[in-house]
């Protein structure tokens, strides 16, 4: 597994000093992820150099940098840990609590009036509480990133990260909820019991196949949107990327042979949405016979990695297996999306060197482009559930906003998330209007 190493290196402020350091790094076969000048004083510059290094990479690199006549290896930074120190979330009041009048209005005795009004008309809760902008981010830690079953507590940094993205990108309050439970029926009971505190439920990092049962049952029992992000958020962004990639090679999703390698939560979510969108031929490969059977139910064709690489125009991989796709397996003109994090099934650079028309990994094709706008749009429309129309509307809007030759837009652009929100809201309201017309006719 690749991990970020953040080196602190001091160089003499003269031409070529930094270049020598970068040369040593290049000779080690490493790629620089980020370079930042921390400070410059007394003729020396302190650099922060972020590298992606395998756990077995030769750390003798540090000594080789230190041996340079114009550089000094200072040590390693704890920047990643520092950014997590104390957690990534804070709860703040929406109004200043600075007078006795405010205190009495928002707490006792004034709050009693609002409580009684909601008792008599529960719909008022959507106006006078934060339900319309609050999401529960729930996990039991059984399938965290590419790390596997590490448990809910170890998954909390991921849940806080999701919640921070909700707040930073679409102004949604998101609350991490950890479940020390793996039985699907008990997970459903616990989540259903607390659902009244939230306007929507995001399921995160639940392992397959239990995740399918949990989501399906919650969708039946709750009157608010439930979305397993690993399935549907990922599928939305993949659909957006494929819309652009196929169009730019003069094809369409409908006329491409598509191969999905790995049929866990993400893989089956992708297959399901692609078939819903109109994909005709979708092959799938997985070691699990049960996963292959679920693929058949969705209309896909069980296959193998070798057959998919030999016959498919589009290859999507969500296996969690680093280096699964060997460069020699790539055929010229293929579209390769190797989406496992933190390590992809094939480095996109290597896929492009072998002639792939487009290649990307999970760092670029990431569900952060989807879930913030999906949830905000659903909440703004007061949608009782997510529909395929909402998911497809989000994917199309993401695709439309990709600049130049990029497959998807910048995930940090709040305008993108606002546009996705609007698209999802419009699709939800249109579906509601259609339901009303059907009921009348």
Residues assigned a catalytic role: 107, 162
| List of residues 6+ apart from 157 with CB closer than 8 A | 84, 88
Give the full edge-to-edge strand order of the sheet including 173-178.
Answer: 173-178, 134-139, 200-203, 226-228
Cβ atoms of 308 and 261 closer than 8 Å: yes
Residues 6+ apart with CB under 8 A from 72: 9, 10, 11, 66
Give yes or no for a contact between 22 and 72, defined as CB atoms under 8 angstroms apart: no
Separation in Å, CA 317 to CA 161, 192, 284, 405: 24, 33, 10, 22
Rounded Cα gap, residues 131 and 114, in angstroms: 14
DSSP reduced 3-state for 426:
helix
CA-CA distances (angstroms) from residue 115 to 97, 111, 177, 209, 252?
Answer: 20, 6, 25, 41, 54
Query: How far apart (Å, rounded) are the C-alpha atoms in residues 82 and 385?
Result: 38
Q: Is 418 helix (H, G, I), strand (E, B) or coil?
A: helix
Return d(Cα 428, Cα 422) in angstroms, integer: 10
Rg (CA), the chain: 24
Question: Residue 252 and residue 255: Cα distance in Å, rounded?
Answer: 6
- Which residues are paired to 36 by β-bridges? 48
Q: Which residues pair with 41 in a beta bridge?
A: 44
Distance separating alpha carbons of residues 204 and 162, to the nearest angstrom: 9
Q: What is the DSSP letter of 365?
A: S
**Strands annotated E in 277-351:** 281-285, 301-302, 314-317, 335-338
User: Which residues neighbour 190 within 8 Å (Cβ) at sequence distance 6 or greater?
Assistant: 179, 181
Strand order in the sheet with 257-261: 301-302, 281-285, 257-261, 314-317, 335-338, 358-361
């Amino acid at each position: 597994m690749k991990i970020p190493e953040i080196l602190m290196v001091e160089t003499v402020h003269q031409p070529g000093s930094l270049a020598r350091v970068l040369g040593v790094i290049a000779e080690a076969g490493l790629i620089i992820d980020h370079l930042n000048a921390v400070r410059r004083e007394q003729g020396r510059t302190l650099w922060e150099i972020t590298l992606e290094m395998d756990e077995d990479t030769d750390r003798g690199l540090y000594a080789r940098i230190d041996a340079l006549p114009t550089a000094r290896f200072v040590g390693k930074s704890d920047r990643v840990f520092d950014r997590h120190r104390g957690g990534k979330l804070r709860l703040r009041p929406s109004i200043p609590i600075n007078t006795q009048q405010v205190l009495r209005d928002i707490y006792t005795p004034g709050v009693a009036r609002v409580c009684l009004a909601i008792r008599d008309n529960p719909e008022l809760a959507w106006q006078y509480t934060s339900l319309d902008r609050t999401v529960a981010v729930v996990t039991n830690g059984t399938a965290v990133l590419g790390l596997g079953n590490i448990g809910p507590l170890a998954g909390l940094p991921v849940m806080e990260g999701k919640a921070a993205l909700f707040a930073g990108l679409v102004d949604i309050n998101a609350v991490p909820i950890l479940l020390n439970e793996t039985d699907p029926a008990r997970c459903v009971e616990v989540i259903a019991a607390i659902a009244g505190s939230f306007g929507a439920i995001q399921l995160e990092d639940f392992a397959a196949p239990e995740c399918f049962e949990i989501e399906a049952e919650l969708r039946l029992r709750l009157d608010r949107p439930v979305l397993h992000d690993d399935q549907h958020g990922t599928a939305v962004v993949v659909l957006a990327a494929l819309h652009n990639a196929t169009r730019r090679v003069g094809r369409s999703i409908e006329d491409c042979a598509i191969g999905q390698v790995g049929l866990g939560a993400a893989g089956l979510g992708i297959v399901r949405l692609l078939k819903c969108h109109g994909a005709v031929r979708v092959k799938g490969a997985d070691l699990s016979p049960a996963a292959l059977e679920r693929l058949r139910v969705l209309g896909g064709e069980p296959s193998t990695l070798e057959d998919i690489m030999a016959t498919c125009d589009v290859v999507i991989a969500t296996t969690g297996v680093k280096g699964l796709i060997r460069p020699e397996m790539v055929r010229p003109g293929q579209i390769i999306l190797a989406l496992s994090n933190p390590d992809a099934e094939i480095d996109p650079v290597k896929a492009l060197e072998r002639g792939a028309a487009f290649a990307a990994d999970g760092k670029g094709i990431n569900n952060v482009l989807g879930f913030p706008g999906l949830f905000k749009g659903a909440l703004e429309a007061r949608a009782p559930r997510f529909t395929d129309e909402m998911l497809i509307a989000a994917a199309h809007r993401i695709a439309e906003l990709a600049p130049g030759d990029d497959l998807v837009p910048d995930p940090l652009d709040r305008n993108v998330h606002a546009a996705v929100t609007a698209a999802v809201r419009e699709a939800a309201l249109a579906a509601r209007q259609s339901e009303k017309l059907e009921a009348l006719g």
